[in-house]
Chains A and B, each alone.
Chain A
Amino acid sequence: MIDQEIVRVAVAGVLVSAAASAMGPQVVYRGLSFLVSAAAHAALGGAALAILLQPYLPWLDPILGAMITSLVVASVVGLAGRGGRGPSMEVAIGVAFAGSMSLAVLLMYQLPPERIPEVWGFLVGDILLLSPLDMITLSLTATFAVSVVTAFYREFIYIAFDPGAAEAQGLRVGLYDWVMLASVALSVSAMTKAVGAILVYALIVAPAGAASKLAKSPKQCIALTFVIATISIGIGLALSLMFNVSPSAIAGVLSAVVYLATLTRGG
C-alpha cells in the first residue's frame, strides 16, 4: 500500500508543476524571471507587517499580509512597465525586492522573538512537511493560476509577443499586464509558504525557460513546462526517499540541468 504521505507529496508536486506551467512561460516570455524571487521576498515584509498589526487588526492573517505586499510589488512593476516595459519592469522588480526585504528586516526587529520564525516560514516551507492547510493553499493556487492563464491565454501571448501592436490595435496592455503580474505574485507568495522558495524558483523559471527554447507553440511550451517540472520533482522525491537529500534541491538542480542542456542545442 502506498503511504498516504507519499501520495500527498506527489499530489503537491503535481499542483506546483501545474501552477508553474501556467505562470512560468508568461514570466519567461517577458524576461521577468526575477519577479518570482521578488514576490516571494515581498511576502516576508507583508507577513511581518501583518503580525505587527494583529493587535489592532486581529483579522489580518500573515498570509493575507504576504499576498497584499506581493500585489503591491506586482502593481509597482506594472506601473513601471507602462510605455517602457521590459527594462523598466526589471529595475522596478529589483527595487521592490530590495525594498520589501528591507521592510521585512526592519519590522522583524519590532516583533516578539517567538514570532520571527513565523515570518521566515514564508520562505522555508518544505514539500515533505505539508499541512492540510498547505494542501488547500496549493490546490487553490494551482486552480487560480491555470484559470487565469486559460481565461486570458491569447491576450497574454499577443502582448508578450508584440506589446506595441497589441496596444495600437486597442488591447488594454496595461490591464492585462497587471492581471498577469498580480497572478504570478499571488501564486508565488502562496506557494512559497507551502513548499518553500527553492522549489518555487526552481519550478517556475527553469522548466519554462527550457520549454520556451524547445517548444514550437505556446501550448506546447505549457505542456513541456509541466512535464519537465513534474519529472524534476518526481525524481527529487524518489531520491529523497532513497537517500537523505532535499527533494526541492534535487528538483532545482534537475530543472537547471535541463535548461542548460537546451542552451547547448543552439538556434
Chain B
Amino acid sequence: MLAVEAKGLYSGYGGRPILKDLSLSIPHPSLSVVMGPNGAGKTTLLRTLLGMVPIISGELRVLGEPIPERIGDVRRRVAYVPQKEEIGWEVPISVLDVVVMLRVIKKGPPRKPTLEDVEVARRALGLVDMEWAEKRCFRALSGGQQQRVLIARAIASEPELLLLDEPVSAIDAESRHKIAEVLVKLRDEAGITSLIVTHDINPFAHVADYVAILNNGELVAAGPVATALTPENLVAVYGPRAKIVEVGGVCYAIVSDAHR
C-alpha cells in the first residue's frame, strides 16, 4: 500500500486548478518531503489530501482509500500539523489540553478526554522531550517548543500518516533536529509515514526516503533523494541564486531569500 497515490491530479477552487497534472507515489512507511518555493502548491496538496480542496480531475488515494469518497475514514487515519500561523494565540490552553485535542476530535461526541487519552498524550509529549511542559500554557512556550507540542498532538491521535505543513519554519536548530529525529523514529519503530511540505528541505535531506519537488503547482521531479534532489532540479525551482552544496552524497540548496 502507498501512503499517497496520485495520477494526473488536478485540484483547486471554482474549477481553476492550483495543482496541475500531479502524479505521485509516496511509499508507506516513509519520511517523504514535498518541497518548493512559496506558492508552489504545497499546502494545497496537503489540503487536497485532507479533502479540503476539491479535486477537478484525476485520481487520488490516501492510505489506499479513494478521495473524496472515503475522506471520513482517511481523516481518522491521518493527523495534520498545520503552520503555526493558523493557531489562535488568544486561547489560554495548556500543553496537555493541546495534545489530547486531535485524539478527542477523532473520537467524536462527547468529546471528553479519558484517563487513557491523557496517558497517550503524555507519552506523545515524552517522544518530543516536552513532558516537562504539560501544565504550561501553550502560548508561553518558544516557537520550537510549540512546534514539538503540535507534533506530539498529531502523534497522540495515533495516525498512520502524518501531514506536516512547514514544521521547521522559523524555529531553533535544536527543535529542527529533534523534529527530524522523532519523525525518523516514528517511521522506523511505529511504521508511520510523515509527509512534510516545506520550502526548506535541508533539515530532512539526509533522512528522507522520497522527495517531490513542486513549482507553480506542477511536479518538477519526484523519487528517492539521490535522483530527485539534483543540482539541476534545485536550481530549476529556486533559481540561479540558489547555491547547491553536496555533503555526504546529498545535495543541499542554500537560498539567500527562500521566499523568492
Question: Which A positions have Cβ atoms within 8 angstroms of B?
Answer: 28-31, 154-155, 157-158, 160-171, 212, 215-218, 220-221, 267
Contacts and interface: CB of A to CB of B under 8 A. Distances in A.
Q: Is the interface of A mostly helix, strand, loop or mixed?
A: helix
A164 B82 contact: yes
Nearest to B86: A164
Interface in B158-215: 163
Interface residues of B, number: 34
Nearest to A214: B92
B80 A216 contact: no
A226 to B, nearest CB: 15
Closest 4 CB pairs of A and B: A168-B80, A164-B82, A215-B92, A164-B86
Given A154-B104, A170-B75, A217-B94, A29 B80 contact: no
Contact of B50 (A157, A163, A168, A215): A168
Contacts of A215: 92
A155 B104 CA distance: 10
Interface string B16-56: 00000000000000000000000000000001001010000
Contact of B112 (A154, A161, A164): A154
B106 A162 contact: no
Contacts of A30: 88, 90
12 contacts: A29-B90, A160-B88, A162-B88, A164-B83, A168-B50, A168-B78, A170-B106, A171-B105, A217-B92, A217-B94, A221-B92, A267-B140
Nearest to A168: B80
Given A28-B90, A154-B111, A158-B101, 12 more contacts: A161-B87, A161-B101, A162-B82, A162-B87, A164-B83, A168-B50, A168-B52, A169-B80, A169-B157, A170-B105, A216-B94, A220-B92
Interface in B109-124: 111-112
Contacts of A31: 90
Contacts of A165: 80-82, 86, 101-102, 153
A60 B50 CA distance: 45
Secondary structure at the B interface, as helix, strand, loop or mixed, is mixed
Most B CB contacts (10 A, CB to CB) among A155, A162, A163 go to A162
B110 to A, nearest CB: 9
Nearest to B43: A164
A167 B75 CA distance: 10
B97 interface: yes
A161 B78 CA distance: 19
B91 to A, nearest CB: 4
Contacts of B86: 162-165
Contact of B93 (A164, A171, A217, A267): A217
A233 B162 CA distance: 49
Contacts of B104: 154, 158
B81 A161 contact: no
B90 A212 contact: yes
